[in-house]
Amino acid sequence: METKVNYALVGAFVIALGAVLIAGVLWLASGGTFQKKYDLYLAVEDESVAGLNVNAPVKYNGVDVGKVRQIWLAPGNPERVNLLFAIERGTPIKEDTIAVLKTQGLTGIAYVELSGGAREAPLLRTLPGNDYPVIRTKASLSARLENVLTSVLAKLDSTSNNLNALLSDDNRAAFKSALADIATVAHTFAARKEAIDTGISDATRTLDNAARASARAQEVMDRVGRGADAIEKMGKQVTQTSKDAGKTIDSAGSGVKRFTEETLPELERLLGELSVLATSLRRLSEQTERNPAGLLFGRKPVPEGPGEKSTVAPQ
């Protein structure tokens, strides 16, 4: 007796078993229970991201921590590029973490390098108005070198233009004329070398004399200073003496007044007599100068004038 087989049931079992196997393979391929979870972060670059592709690695101090999920131009500002990173959950992305574009080896494969993140810095959070936490960026080495080379080339170009302007026909002619004038001056100095040497020697002697005069002047100034000190001291002593004399005069005022009242008339009479005596002596002196012999022989009679007759007394 033959057993009947239900082919429909067998087919359904095979299909179900195949679906389970495929789902298991996919589950295992995706990591199963060990599947990693990622957080999304945004970075904005102000330079070209040539060579960076989607799924390019994102490294933190050289360790792979994620991939580049998406690359697009910033809306309204095509000079900026938005990079969306998928980074393993638990990676310490801090507020001071910085993203830099780098290239790997000589192949030029670009990737993103994360660095920074101090231990005490807080974790990076999503700010109000943003969809993702925004990681700060820094110019890459190639961008910095490009900026430096651009600046150097600009300076070289400016220097070249300045040299071209400096070496123009007019400037070359002026420079040639200046060299000729310098040569003429040099020949003049060479021809008058002896006179110049003599002038230098005279100037040296003059400076020496001035130095000695300055030293002597310093000595004189020192003496003047000492004299000024002595005068100042003497002034102080005179002032003190005046004060003492004032006190003495004040104490002797009554006696001086009495002496003046008693003696002054006598002094006036004495001065009058001395004045008369001085007049007489002056006249005697004048006569002696005119006629020195008169001091011995006496005065001669004055001769009679015209028309005058001498009256002789009768004997």
Matching residue, tokens 């003599």: 198
The segment with the largest mean pLDDT, out of 80-94, 108-122, 209-223, 291-305, is: 80-94
Residues 207, 212, 218, 223, CA torsion sign: negative
Can you list the positions of beta strands (E) in the chain? 38-45, 57-60, 63-74, 77-88, 98-104, 109-115, 134-137
Contact 94/116 with Cβ under 8 angstroms? yes
Q: Where are the domains of the chain?
A: 35-138
Q: Taking 70 as the threshold, does the pLDDT of residue 146 lie above it?
A: yes
Q: Taking 90 as the threshold, does the pLDDT of residue 239 lie above it?
A: no
Q: What is the mean pLDDT of residues 140-156?
A: 86
Q: Taking 90 as the threshold, does the pLDDT of residue 313 lie above it?
A: no
The pLDDT value recorded for residue 40 is: 94
Q: Which residue has better confidence, 314 or 220?
A: 220
| Structure confidence at residue 83 as a pLDDT band (50, 70, 90) | very high
CA distance 130 to 44: 13
The pLDDT value recorded for residue 71 is: 92
Q: What is the mean pLDDT of residues 250-259?
A: 56
Name the percent of the chain lying above pLDDT 70. 70
The pLDDT value recorded for residue 99 is: 93
Alpha carbon 97 to chain centroid distance?
Answer: 39
Q: Which residue has better confidence, 223 or 208?
A: 208
Q: What is the mean pLDDT of residues 47-66?
A: 90
- Identify which of 110, 115, 33, 48 has the alpha carbon closest to the alpha carbon of residue 78: 48
Q: What is the dihedral of CA 47, 52, 57, 61, to 10 degrees?
A: -30
| Structure confidence at residue 84 as a pLDDT band (50, 70, 90) | very high
Q: What are phi and psi of 89, to 5 degrees?
A: -65, 140
**Taking each helix axis from N to C terminus, what angle separates 169-191 and 193-290, rounded to the nearest 10 degrees?**
60
| Structure confidence at residue 275 as a pLDDT band (50, 70, 90) | confident
Q: What is the mean pLDDT of residues 143-148?
A: 84
CA distance 94 to 121: 6
Q: Taking 90 as the threshold, does the pLDDT of residue 5 lie above it?
A: no
- Give the model confidence (pLDDT) of 57-76 as tens digits: 999 998 999 999 999 998 88
Q: What is the dihedral of CA 210, 212, 215, 216, to 10 degrees?
A: -100
Q: Taking 90 as the threshold, does the pLDDT of residue 117 lie above it?
A: no
Q: What is the mean pLDDT of residues 41-68?
A: 91
| Structure confidence at residue 114 as a pLDDT band (50, 70, 90) | very high
Contact 69/94 with Cβ under 8 angstroms? no
DSSP 155-221: HHHHHHHHHHHHTSHHHHHHHHHHHHHHHHHHHHHHHTHHHHHHHHHHHHHHHHHHHHHHHHHHHHH
| Structure confidence at residue 250 as a pLDDT band (50, 70, 90) | low
The pLDDT value recorded for residue 314 is: 46
Q: Which residues pair with 68 in a beta bridge?
A: 85
Matching residue, tokens 């008339």: 265
Alpha carbon 148 to chain centroid distance?
Answer: 29
Q: Taking 50 as the threshold, does the pLDDT of residue 288 lie above it?
A: yes
- Identify which of 210, 53, 40, 61 has the alpha carbon closest to the alpha carbon of residue 133: 40
CA distance 69 to 51: 15
The pLDDT value recorded for residue 69 is: 93
Q: Taking 80 as the threshold, does the pLDDT of residue 304 lie above it?
A: no
The pLDDT value recorded for residue 253 is: 54
Q: What is the mean pLDDT of residues 296-312?
A: 55
CA distance 48 to 231: 90
